[in-house]
Amino acid sequence: MSQSAPQRSLTASDIRARKGADPLVCLTAYTTPVAQLADADCDLVLVGDSVGMVLHGLPSTLGVTMEMMVLHGRAVARGLSRALMVVDMPFGSYEESPAQAFRNAAHLMAETGAGAIKLEGGAHMEETVRFIVDRGIPVMAHIGLTPQAVNALGGYKVQGRGADADRILEDARAVTRAGAFSVVLEKVPAALADQITAGIDIPTVGIGASSGCDGQILVIDDMLGLFDAFKPKFVKRYGDLASDARTAIRTYAQEVRARSFPAPEHVFSQEEPGTC
């Protein structure tokens, strides 16, 4: 009996070739178990610097370090067999110069086994993106609302309204010229996202943009409903895991206090082997 060939991981070239085809499904992941859950249905899994806020309780992404991205990148890599893994470049690791950016991108790739890196910025990062791509590292760009620049942008506001649309358009053209294989459009008006998607030849991946983008990405903890207070407009909740977890924890606490857990079926006798 012949055996089926092992499943091949998607590459940046595969993602690039999906322009105008079936929409790309993308989610974040920061741990091995979550990566395993996402792998079968996602084309791209992003180890986002949002890990700082989601898992480490930081107020923004600015405090995320290279060491954190390596740690979580390694964990996610262990859980993927199909999806392309992209790892975010943390704040301060690529802005100084193209050479600095390449050194840190190469470090991330070597330490995590990522298939690509992602960095924020448009026209002002064109030279850096080109420098990295020319040296063999695929780059996913990120324009519109760029969280690492939140202080300069004056908060987490929609970008590209009115006359500002020309800036975002030029950002999209710049990263395309530089050789990025795809670009995230975050929190830009839908009409502008559609214009960009039609006007560049690399896939656009929307988050708070438009259903007309070539793909969509969300922070997995947001779409699973693991947070009560944080409910951005662009997130649809596909689960309510925070409520489920709270109910489970409350029930567990009640049973422990009532000594109804562990029950006889959860403990071992003298005779039976001590296995799981």
Token pair, residue 188, equals 């830009």
Of the candidates 67, 96, 186, 272, the residue annotated as catalytic is 186
- On whether the CB atoms of residues 117 and 151 are closer than 8 A, the answer is no
Q: Any binding-site annotation on 265? A: no
120 is annotated as contributing to ligand binding: yes
Q: Is 67 a catalytic residue?
A: no
Asked whether the beta carbons of 192 and 160 are under 8 A apart, the reply is yes
Q: What separation in angstroms does the CA of 43 have from each of 18, 40, 49, 209?
A: 10, 8, 19, 19
**Residue 14 marked in a binding site:** no
- Asked whether residue 166 is marked as a ligand-binding residue, the answer is no
**Token pair 């662009």: residue:** 234
Shortest CA distance to 196 belongs to which of 207, 208, 209, 181? 209
Query: Looking up tokens 């459009």, which residue turns up?
Result: 185
Cβ-based neighbours of 197, under 8 Å, separated by 6 or more: 185, 204, 210, 212, 213, 214
Q: Is 211 assigned a ligand-binding role in the annotation? A: no
* Burial of residue 98 (number of CB atoms within 10 Å: 0-12, 13-18, 19+): middle
**How far apart are alpha carbons 72 and 203 in whole angstroms?**
26
**Which of 19, 27, 104, 34 lies closest to 69 in space, CA to CA?**
104
Query: Binding site for Mg(2+), residues?
Result: 49, 88, 120
Query: Binding site for 3-methyl-2-oxobutanoate, residues?
Result: 49-50, 88, 118
Residues belonging to the active site: 186
